[in-house]
Structure 1
Amino acid sequence: MNRSLTKTIYLFALFNLCCFSAKGQNTTDATQSGSMPFPKGEKIESANFTGSAWLHMLVSSDTTFNTSIGNVTFEKGARTNWHYHPGGQLLLVTSGKGRYGEKGKTVRELKKGDVIKCTPNTIHWHGAAPDSELSHIAIGTNLSKGAVVWMEPVSDEEYKMK
């Protein structure tokens, strides 16, 4: 076999070995993370949550985009306190099941693919269902209008689907 052909076969074999090895590794990583599109992030240490939740910031607030974007993951039954955003908030559910409540309205069940539009100053809460984790992308909009205003915890009675 000539030297050029041997070199080509060697490079082809090395290329395939690297590709198949990387492909297997990505599959394992996706399986271990539950096929979540973004990292779970750091555990949130705050009195504004009932139960455990994690945050991975994707875009931090800046003057160019006037928004913040984070991936938030709630353990089963975890939820935010009542709160509102002076500039509004968008929630894009990426996995699991959850709940969303607004003052004076029936609690809404959330599932993957749901989009919630929290208009400015709407008092609300969101979190996981009792039997499922929930992950969503939280987009803080019009941040120049002010930071989130946190209120009291959501009671177990308020959390229940009515």
Structure 2
Amino acid sequence: MELIPANERQTQKSDRSWFTGEVWLETINLAPAPARHRAVHVTFEAGARTAWHSHPLGQTIYVVEGGGVIGTRDALPRVIRAGDSVWLPPGEEHWHGAAPDEKMKHISIQEAESGFVTTWMEHVAEEDYSTLAE
């Protein structure tokens, strides 16, 4: 067993090549091999979001606070709120982040495949971010 006290968890500012706006990442767990589980608590300031990306084994997002937006290549972006969870299948290209006027916090859960977790792509165009599904 490994206990990670709350005051020993690392929080870091996101890499600008993968995010737009202010985003903070707090690692919950990076399980050692042979386990593949990874969980991160992510805080997006209003208007902040990821770039387009995918995960080889999929991703679960659980919104814990505030409101946000999530989009895929084949559908208009949708609003997500505290308490919502989203399953993104392996390889699905998507993005997610805070609403334009509201902070959002979510937990991101995914598995590594051969140590690999995320394929990053281009930043989300402003028109894609601001167009919501009805």
TM-score range, shorter chain: 0.7 to 0.9
1:129-148 alignment to 2 at 5 Å?
129-141=99-111, 143-144=112-113, 146-148=116-118
Contact 1:40 / 1:54 at 8 angstroms: preserved in 2?
no
SS of residue paired to 1:76: coil
Answer with 1 or 2: which has the greater Rg: 1
TM-score by length of 1: 0.72
Residue 47 of structure 2 is aligned to residue 66 of structure 1:
no
Give distance in 1, aligned partners of 2:29 and 2:42: 13
Contact 1:40 / 1:72 at 8 angstroms: preserved in 2?
no
Question: Aligned residue pairs: how many?
Answer: 123
Q: CA deviation at 1:61?
A: 3.6
Contact 1:43 / 1:52 at 8 angstroms: preserved in 2?
yes
Contact 2:70 / 2:79 at 8 angstroms: preserved in 1?
yes
Give distance in 2, aligned partners of 1:44 and 1:61: 21
Give distance in 1, aligned partners of 2:127 and 2:31: 34
For structure 1, list consecutive stretches of 5 or more residues without a partner in the other structure.
1-38
Contact 1:87 / 1:144 at 8 angstroms: preserved in 2?
yes
Give distance in 2, aligned partners of 1:119 and 1:153: 20
Q: CA deviation at 1:149?
A: 0.4
Give distance in 2, aligned partners of 1:40 and 1:101: 28
- Between the aligned residues of both structures, percent identity stands at 37
Residue number in structure 2 paired with 1:115? 85
Residue 56 of structure 2 is aligned to residue 86 of structure 1:
yes
Residue number in structure 2 paired with 1:125? 95
Give distance in 2, aligned partners of 1:40 and 1:99: 26
SS of residue paired to 2:76: coil
Give distance in 2, aligned partners of 1:144 and 1:157: 33
Which structure shows the higher strand fraction? 2
The one-letter code sitting in structure 2 at the alignment partner of 1:76 is: A
Segments ≥4 residues shifted beyond 3 Å: none
For structure 2, list consecutive stretches of 5 or more residues without a partner in the other structure.
1-8
Residue number in structure 2 paired with 1:43? 13
Q: Per chain length, whose mean CA-contact separation is higher, i.e. which structure has more relative contact order (CA < 8 Å, sep 6+)?
A: 2
Residue number in structure 1 paired with 2:73? 103
